Chain A
């Protein structure tokens, strides 16, 4: 153990002060949301802030389900998010295996094509994409949103970067043992790629869950809407129903937070190993 000098002790205290302030800035809006979700509209803005309401207004949480078809929205969002995440994980980890561990014709050309499109913002081609999907009769279907999100070049790039860190000798040895390429992918690469898969899951889940513009363009029928669209249009119509808005907000936050908290221990490792740091 090193003995700390007075200067280092002061620095350490300052760091903690800084961290506590930062944590407050990050967390207080969420705590305020939680607190306001249990208040009547006229009490939401009382100052000084009453963090724990005296008479919690639990009815906000039951009323929000009947005010808007929240259950439908949540079901739609879950359905889309889970399908997109599974497709994304499968197609990305599968394609990345070929780019990383197999030699074939056009490998570099194809990979370059993938890289180049990462830099093209989706917003730059969303209009022709919409016209194309509408032409296929996919306007106002969930399939359109799935197609939009499930084949990203980013996922392939990320998984490939991670596989590069897995020694090729491992695959060679398995090949000599007579394992097929599909077997190597499933039995060797996938188990090793847990951090990268977790990171990709967080990214895809969060992005799809929170996506607004995609569903906004494609889903106009109420029974198809996602939670972001549904809650947003409720806010647009009843902007002074503060308690209800906050209750709805808390509900929409829970699934992403659960996914994030359950996978976050792999997260920094995953970001580091996938070369996302550049």
Chain B
């Protein structure tokens, strides 16, 4: 990105000097036409913008204020200063949720990126049944979340699930207890997320791959470049923007994870333990179970700050 102010040329395209002292005087008719044009443009924007401004922009501003207030939703608000932030950073569950969310993100992002890229490259080859494979790999993404988490919980059931039965049949005596084991729970959730999201990011990579100029590959074939070199020196650099985009989207998506964890790990009641709690779950609890709206907003600001920081860092790295 270019931060320098663009210099306004002092000459027109024909090489004639521009006289800035002359002000174009608009006739009444021209003014009226311009106003009309603006009004037409605003009429296009209005249906979306009004909804967007009232129900998104206003709550965002409100969220910032609320983090510094005490409010239970019914009685009057009182000033809290930094108390909400002091409270959450001394709260064990909140700190655990912060830790878990980071672990989840660090586990999910790189693996999903690699798997979806590999899948996209394979499915970009001229292979028979390519469309079938493309469609199939998208199933986990569109599949209804309650349904697929229910299947996973049964497949990975520690005592009777087919996955562990298979492992036992293969000679593994004590197969992992997956979601029921505190040490394996996050890993299981990461595994599920990769399975669910790789098809989606595969499509985005596929779109990126199809944007690469085929002449680049043809030229390199003449020069006798091998497949690996083609990948490393042509495909990967050409996909840089796509990778950057996916990295940001995926990271943001991971930090706001909630429903996957809730449905996989929150058996019956849906309560999450210290081993699996995530940021959004804590926000939800503070707000809608304990009605400490200031605390919930402080937690939400932490989520927002992390997402913002990650985005800025990735933009910085991209520039280098």
Contacts and interface: CB of A to CB of B under 8 A. Distances in A.
A131 B62 CA distance: 10
Contact of A123 (B57, B125, B160, B256): B256
A15 B122 contact: yes
A235 B146 contact: yes
A7 B41 CA distance: 59
A36 B154 contact: yes
Interface string B155-184: 101001110011001000000000000000
B141 A272 contact: no
Contact of B162 (A49, A253, A256): A49
A127 B300 contact: yes
Contacts of B268: 236-237, 239
A104 B45 CA distance: 11
Contact of A268 (B63, B210, B269): B210
Contact of B122 (A19, A97, A227): A19
Size category, B interface: 35 or more
B137 interface: yes
B287 A130 contact: yes
Given A45-B161, A103-B37, A127-B66, A29 B284 contact: no
B189 interface: no
B127 interface: yes
A30 B143 contact: yes
Interface stretch (A59-67, A166-174, A241-249): A241-249
B252 interface: yes
B267 interface: yes
Contacts of B110: none
Contacts of B47: 90-91, 94-95
B252 A119 contact: yes
Interface string B52-94: 1001111110110010000001000000000000000000000
Q: Is the interface of A mostly helix, strand, loop or mixed?
A: helix
A124 interface: yes
Interface in A93-109: 94-95, 97-99, 102-105, 107
Interface stretch (B1-9, B11-19, B25-33, B237-245): B237-245
A94 B144 contact: no
B117 interface: no
Contact of B297 (A23, A32, A128, A148): A128
A75 B96 CA distance: 39
Contact of A92 (B48, B210, B304): B48
Contact of B144 (A152, A153, A253, A267): A253
A190 interface: no
A104 B48 CA distance: 17
Interface in B108-135: 119, 122-123, 125, 127, 129, 132-135
Contacts of B208: 277-278
Given A19-B122, A91-B48, A213-B284, A121 B244 contact: no
Contact of A22 (B125, B133, B279): B133
Interface of A: 11-12, 15-16, 18-19, 22-23, 25-27, 29-30, 32-33, 36, 44-45, 47, 49, 90-92, 94-95, 97-99, 102-105, 107, 110, 113-114, 117, 119-134, 147-148, 150-153, 155-156, 181, 185, 202, 206, 209-210, 212-213, 217, 227-228, 231-232, 235-237, 239, 242, 245-246, 248-250, 252-253, 256-257, 260-261, 264, 267-268, 271-272, 276-278
